[in-house]
């Protein structure tokens, strides 16, 4: 569960970040020769939410207003959103506490954690921001997974090879990028913020 992530945060820093955060205030289609699914993932092989056959045009999105925030602050803000919605069931087209699809959860998480509006669909999200290598992932990066040739499932990276997403099998949950199911399906990641130094150099 995501709560275990706070174990590696320094106690005083975690408390301070939480206080700061309070003050600031979707699966995939099965593919041949895929590894066996775990019980929790056995139902992931269903159609994803609002993915188009070809990537959709996405509106221009500037660097997010949390560009200057550090990774730990982003993690705390996202963790609060995750804890608020953990276990909410999967719902095709959903974008509320009654149910989420994968892109609906991402859009809601970004809005509530950072006050930023993302495109609605996975097909739009996959073309925004900048590509980032897997070994360079930071909390807040979007991670995408292959679904019959399309990046049809997505989640939000949280650190330590973990990501949060709206799973068709168990709703909003945390999963491992290294699980037998998700590891071979990992496709790419996108970063929708810029490092603090870059932001400072480009006011």
Distance of CA 73 to the CA centre of its chain: 16
Contact partners, residue 195, CB within 8 Å, separation at least 6: 67
Q: What is the pLDDT of residues 117-157, one digit of tens each?
A: 899 999 999 999 999 999 999 999 999 999 778 899 999 99
Q: Which domains does the chain have, with CATH numbers?
A: 39-51+63-201 (3.90.1720.10)
Please list the active-site residues: 102, 153, 165
> Among 71-75, 98-102, 104-108, which is the least confidently predicted range?
71-75
Higher pLDDT, 107 or 22: 107
Q: What is the dihedral of CA 80, 82, 88, 94, to 10 degrees?
A: 100
> Among 42-51, 66-75, 102-111, which is the least confidently predicted range?
42-51
Q: Tell me the whole-structure pTM to 2 decimals.
A: 0.69
Contact partners, residue 105, CB within 8 Å, separation at least 6: 26, 85, 95, 164, 165, 166, 172
């Amino acid at each position: 569960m995501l709560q275990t992530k706070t174990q590696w945060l320094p106690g005083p820093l975690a408390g301070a970040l939480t206080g700061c955060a309070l003050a600031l205030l979707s699966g995939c289609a099965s593919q041949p020769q895929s590894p066996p699914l775990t019980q929790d993932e056995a139902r992931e092989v269903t159609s994803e939410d609002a993915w188009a056959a070809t990537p959709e045009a996405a509106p221009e999105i500037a660097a997010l207003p949390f560009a200057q925030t550090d990774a730990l602050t982003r993690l705390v803000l996202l963790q609060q959103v995750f804890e608020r919605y953990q276990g909410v069931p999967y719902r095709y087209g959903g974008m509320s506490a009654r149910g989420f699809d994968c892109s609906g959860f991402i859009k809601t998480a970004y809005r509530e954690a950072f006050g930023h509006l993302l495109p609605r669909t996975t097909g739009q999200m996959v073309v925004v921001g900048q590509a980032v290598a897997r070994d360079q992932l930071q909390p807040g990066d979007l991670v995408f997974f292959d679904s019959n040739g399309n990046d049809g499932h997505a989640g939000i990276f949280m650190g330590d090879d973990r990501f949060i997403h709206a799973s068709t099998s168990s709703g909003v949950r945390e999963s491992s990028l290294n699980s037998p199911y998700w590891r071979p399906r990992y496709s790419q990641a996108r970063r929708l913020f810029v490092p603090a130094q870059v932001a400072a150099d480009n006011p």
